Structure 1
Amino acid sequence: MTEQIITDSPERSRVPAGATEPILVFRGLTKRFGGATALDHVDFDLMPGEIHGLVGENGAGKSTMMKILSGLHTPDEGEMLLRGEPVQFASPAEAKARGIGMIYQELSCMPALSVAENVFLGSQPTKGGLVDWGRMRREAAQHLGVMGIDVDVTAPASSLSLGGQQLVEIARVVFSGASIIVLDEPTSALSAPESERLFRAMAELKARGATLVFISHFLEDVLAVSDRITVLKNSRKVATLENQGVTKQQLIQLMIGHDAEILAEGYEGGVHLPPAVPGTPALEVQGLSGAGFTDLTFTAHQGEILGIFGNLGAGMTEMARVIFGRERPATGSLRLDGKVIAPKSTREAKQLGIAYLSENRRATIFPRHEIFKNITLAHLDQIVGRVVRQPREIAIATDLVKRTGVRPPRPTLAAGNLSGGNQQKVVLAKWLTVQPKVLILNEPTRGMDVGAKREVLDLVKALRSEGVSIILISTEPETVLAESDRILVMSKGQITKEFVGERVSKDLLMSYA
């Protein structure tokens, strides 16, 4: 890392000519929760018309900093200046009124409402005291069209993919008139084409004078779109970088402070998959068809990580839901340890030894409940018997919290107080309470920083060494390449390619998706 690229001076930034004064300044911003410091005397400035990347490991303070900006939290120390004026927002509504727009990682779409209603949620156009439905639909279609999204705006939001719903949320905030727009992991649920559409929309917004803060664990995305990049580590600011010659490796070194080569292994270039070794079949899928996929046939072996890669909408999630008993197949069969199975419910699938970690963290975590309850809830009948004994639950959870590296390691803490990456570790710990035969992981590291990814995936590899059959589903080619023994590629509901015992690059993988 050279001194020349580390700067706190905005004058050298790639921002519009004439932009000399920051639109937003944080000075010594500090926030504590109980005895824990979430933000430690952070200085930060945002120039008008720039895209400012914000990176750091889970728990580094990124979201806390932006929640102060949005009025969700108030700082314990420090000050915030907006256009040179000291401000402190008492509520999100107050921040919104001053032109602050927030787009969060977790979806807040109202699935039963139409796409148009979600775009204009809380600000529907009216005529004569009534909602002007025609205008709302026309303008919703126009707003989405700017982002390259062509959907039926009268359809319910639930009819869209997870990525489609995310884009609707982005459209809602982007076109609400906000002058400072914070995007917190906006691409975590988007396919590559959807991400590209978002980046084009961000560039257009910048050209129109909007100022954007882009928080992401996808460092390539941050490098591709940002004018400047601020790195946080352990609740403090490490550096602000001009995005001129900065590399992903440099960002990783600043974020984690130790050998980034190890953590980045497998994420750059191609990998050589291990040679095919005959293994004992764990799960055999034969001619399986259902909503979103057709005629899938493959085998997952004991002690193997089978990677399945594809873009959103490829049918991977729908397939996983059938195997886990959430949906019924149209045709085909399943065998587990050589025996035909047909799970009619998730409970039956769990009893058979199949576990499924969903791609939607909200669907698998109870934020108001303690960590130990989140871990033991799915298996109470197997681990505590007929009488629930909380001390035993806590003891079991304490061991799993340590094993999975949940931070802070306090099983009595409410799960909602954890960062997104640590919440995902809690969900994984839940499925390790009673070790499964087959563990299906759907986007297990989505939205995680490189350090948290490494911890989770090291745990997955440990399970593989214990004989568990792992099915790793991901839209991130880097993750599949780095962790898999074999790789299947899916596109439009079908398996288009299997890679085994050969060198595979990211480009080659994506060419079959």
Structure 2
Amino acid sequence: MTVSVARITKTFAGLKALDDVSVTLLPGQTHALLGANGSGKSTLSKIISGVYQPDGGLIRIGGKELSAFSSPNHANAMGVAVVHQEAPLIDTLSVGECMALFGSYACRHGRIDWPNLYAGAAARLSRYKVEIDPKRIAGSLTANERALISLVIALDRVETGIELLILDEATASLTEKQAEAFLQHVQDVAHDDLAILMVTHRLAELEGRVETVSILRDGRLVHSGPKAAISNNEIVAHMAGPSKAATKGSPVSTADIDAYWAQARSARRAASTYPALEFRKVSASILRDIDLRVSAGEVVGFAGLADSGLQEIPQLLGGEIFCSSGDILVDGEVLPRKADPSITIKAGLCVLPADRLRSGGVATLSMGDNLTLPSSERWWHRGRQKSELAARLIRMLDVRPPDASAIFGTLSGGNQQKVILGKWLSLAPAVLVLDDPTQGVDPNARDLLFAAMHAAARNGVAIILLSTEPDQLAAHCQKIFVLRNGRICACLEGEEVTRGKISEWSYS
């Protein structure tokens, strides 16, 4: 069944997120919706799934013409299923209960049949090779585990019959291998009457899957046509626009960022003769006897599979979990064994988390408040200086819209990431931890984030980089620690820092 939107417009706080956008999605085809962060992709997908209502335009589905879906339930009833980048799970419920919310509760004699509910959830997870205990509390899931659960829920709906499946950056927090497996599952269960709308920044995911490409820029449709007729370079040029396309290939300017880091570091932190970060026989739930040193100005990567203990690195450094034994030192100072986030931040450890909306920022606060939140005591009765700092960070990191009063939760994923980076940048930390910083981020914003990272390193900040993309680790790190079974199994340096070596040590 054909699904289409015609002349859709949407405005937030006086800024047009969508301007006269028309897209047609054909049954039996996969249609890619592309664009830079803030271009309107997620806004359009949320309008088609009933989360937002447009200011103007029409939606056509199944021979019916509507001005809007009144709610997600309305869109769902019309045959629209969506997997959002932020998984819609309830933290206080179990995985099995969350899955039942989107299907049905197994009941017996008028009561919930808990054994059958969990057995059914386990069978559905097993069918897609997802090894997560259905009795586990959803709030304990990592970002990529939440995405996997959401994809299982959506794929179940495909098999029960829907008209349109929207994948809104659904694979952003998955590794390349996990993303490939799930996209293959989507293709396997897709039928001739199903239209698929794929919103993604991973251009490699388009190959062999996508028939049609539509590209948004600044809320307007700038290209729509067959995927076979456009190259990836042309796609990036359309996303960036004429002015950026003309300088494509040149590095992002870091002059402002360099100047800011240099000023902030000299004002806040004296040079140290100690390693910026040191682990001495550190153990946690999975990690065992980790010894490592990271010097000021060094960019160090961490790689490993999901069960390697990799995710305990940012959790330890962010004060989310505690060491069971061993010591963590920052600039030669030992952290308390039970160092919570207030202690780690004060010590000079700042973590940009993988789950940016739940852990990185406060969705209901303004962009300006998020940027200055960790140093709020500095701005008591200094409103003008606070506003000046927020404006400088927004300008320096090219956050869209460039309005400090914009609510953080309404920003695109890439612009949320820039705000979180700016928040930590303002503290001039000793160690900056970036946990998969480019998931759901367009190529141009990705270049800016890495440029800011290297500018920080040039000014003495130690960088810890975790990424689901081995190419990123190989391109940006001087040294890579590979974890396996909670221990460091390899330390790659120099010519060994390659995608092949990273994969070889991670998977062997």
- Name the TM-score, length of structure 2 as normaliser: 0.86
Give 1:449 shift: 0.7
Name the structure 1 match of 2:78.
98
Which one is further off, 252-261 or 36-45? 252-261
1:79 aligns with 2:63: no
Provide closer, same or farther for how the CA distance between residues 481 and 263 of structure 1 changes in structure 2, counting only shifts above 3 A: farther
C-alpha change, 1:149 and 1:417, in structure 2 (3 Å) is closer
Query: Which of 88, 93, 96 is the aligned partner of 1:113?
Result: 93
Query: What is the aligned partner in structure 2 of residue 294 from structure 1?
Result: 288
Output the CA distance in 2 between the equivalents of 1:26 and 1:179: 14
- CA–CA distance in structure 1, aligned partners of residues 375 and 296 of structure 2: 23
Give the counterpart letter for 1:61 in structure 2: G
Spell out, residue by residue over 1:280-305, the C-alpha distance to the aligned partner (whole angstroms, 9 max, x if none): 73212222211121222221111121
Contact 1:293 1:493 in 2 (8 A): yes
Q: 1:308 to 1:96 in 2, by over 3 A?
A: same
**Residue range with higher mean Cα deviation, 218-227 or 279-288:** 279-288
Question: 2:279, 2:291 within 8 Å by CA — same for their partners in 1?
Answer: yes
- Please report how far the alpha carbon of residue 98 of structure 1 lies from its aligned counterpart in structure 2 after TM superposition: 0.4
Is structure 2 residue 54 aligned with structure 1 residue 60? Answer: no
Alignment partners' CA distance in 1, 2:442 and 2:501: 25
Amino acid aligned to 1:248: N
Q: Distance in 1 between matches of 2:461 and 2:136?
A: 42
For the pair 1:345 / 2:325, whether they are aligned, the reply is no
Distance 1:146 1:327, change over 3 A: closer
CA distance in 1: counterparts of 2:488 and 2:233, whole angstroms: 34
Match of 2:465 in 1: 472
- Partners of 2:328 and 2:132 in 1: how far apart? 36
1:40 aligns with 2:40: no
Query: For 1:30 and 1:341, how far apart are their aligned partners in 2?
Result: 52
Residue 204 (structure 1) shift: 1.6
Letter in 1 for 2:217: K
Shift of 1:448: 0.5
Which residue is 1:198 aligned to?
Answer: 182
Query: What TM-score do you get using the length of structure 1 for normalisation?
Result: 0.86
Mapped contact 1:49–1:211 kept (Cα < 8 A): yes
Amino acid at match of 2:343: E
Instruction: Give 3-state SS (helix, strand or coil) of 1:102's partner.
Output: strand
Deviation at 1:58, TM superposition (A): 0.5
Equivalences for 1:42-441 in 2 at 5 Å?
42-87=21-66, 88-121=68-101, 123-125=103-105, 126-158=107-139, 160-176=141-157, 177=160, 178-207=162-191, 209-244=193-228, 247-257=231-241, 258=245, 259-262=247-250, 281-342=275-336, 344-361=339-356, 362-381=358-377, 383-384=378-379, 387-441=380-434
**CA–CA separation in structure 2 for the residues paired with 1:218 and 1:119:** 27
Does the C-alpha gap of structure 1 residues 254 and 318 become closer, same or farther in structure 2, counting only changes over 3 Å? same
Q: Residues 286 and 296 of structure 1 are in contact (CA less than 8 Å); yes or no, is this contact kept in structure 2? A: yes
Distance 1:373 1:440, change over 3 A: same
Instruction: State the SS of the aligned residue for 2:5.
Output: strand
1:15 is matched with none
Deviation at 1:478?
2.5
| Residues 245, 307 of structure 1: alpha-carbon distance in 2 compared, 3 angstrom cutoff | farther
Q: Residue type matched to 1:438 in 2?
A: V
Residue 418 of structure 1: how far off its partner (Å) = 1.7
Please give the per-residue CA displacement for 1:220-272, whole angstroms capped at 9, x wherever unaligned.
123253232222222222323434375433322232241544579xxxxxxxx
**Which of 237-246 and 187-196 deviates more?**
237-246
Q: CA RMSD in A?
A: 2.5
Q: Deviations over 1:353-376 (max 9, x none)?
A: 221222111212112212221122
Distance change >3 Å, CA 475–CA 390, structure 1 → 2: same
Residue in structure 2 matched with residue 450 of structure 1 by the alignment: 443
Give the match for residue 500 of structure 1.
Answer: 493
User: How many pairs align?
Assistant: 475
Assess, with a 3 A threshold, how the Cα gap between structure 1 residues 144 and 335 changes in structure 2: closer, same or farther. closer
Aligned CA distance change for structure 1 residues 183 and 114 (closer, same or farther; 3 Å): same
- Distance (Å, rounded) in 2 between the aligned partners of 1:241 and 1:480: 34
Q: 1:272 maps to what in 2?
A: none
Equivalent pairs: percent with the same residue? Answer: 29
Distance 1:97 1:369 in 2: 33
Report how far residue 57 of structure 1 moved. 0.7
CA contact (8 A) 1:263 1:451 kept: no
Separation of aligned partners in 1, 2:292 and 2:225: 47
Equivalent-residue separation in structure 2 for 1:102 and 1:93 (angstroms) = 11
Stretch moving more, 451-460 or 111-120: 111-120
What's 1:491 paired with?
484
Counterpart amino acid of residue 61 in structure 2: L
Give the Cα separation in 1 of the matches to 2:469 and 2:360. Answer: 21
Give 3-state SS (helix, strand or coil) of 1:316's partner.
coil
CA distance in 1, matches of 2:405, 2:320: 30
Does the aligned pair in 1 maintain the 2:31–2:214 contact within 8 Å?
Answer: yes
Looking at structure 2, the residues matched to 405 and 82 of structure 1 have their Cα atoms a distance apart, in angstroms, of 37
Alpha-carbon distance in structure 2 between the residues aligned to 1:133 and 1:116: 9
CA separation in 2, counterparts of 1:436 and 1:497?
27
Q: Which amino acid aligns with 1:349?
A: T
1:46 shift after superposition:
0.8
Separation of aligned partners in 2, 1:152 and 1:411: 42
Tell which deviates more after alignment, 133-142 or 92-101. Answer: 133-142
Change in Cα spacing, 1:197 to 1:393, as seen in structure 2 (3 Å) is: same
Q: Deviations over 1:467-510 (max 9, x none)?
A: 11111121222222222222222233222322222164323321
Alpha-carbon shift at residue 433 of structure 1 (Å):
2.2
1:324 shift after superposition: 3.3
Distance in 2 between the 1:350 and 1:465 partners? 21
Residue 461 of structure 1 corresponds to which residue in structure 2?
454
d(CA) in 2 for partners of 1:350, 1:155: 30
Distance 2:121 2:194 in 1: 20
SS of 1:291's equivalent in the other structure is coil
Aligned residue for 1:3? none
Report the CA distance between 1:437 and its aligned residue: 1.1
Residues 24, 47 of structure 1: 8 Å contact kept: yes
Matched with 1:30 is 9
Return 5+ residue gaps in structure 2 as ranges.
253-272
Q: Distance in 2 between matches of 1:227 and 1:280?
A: 55
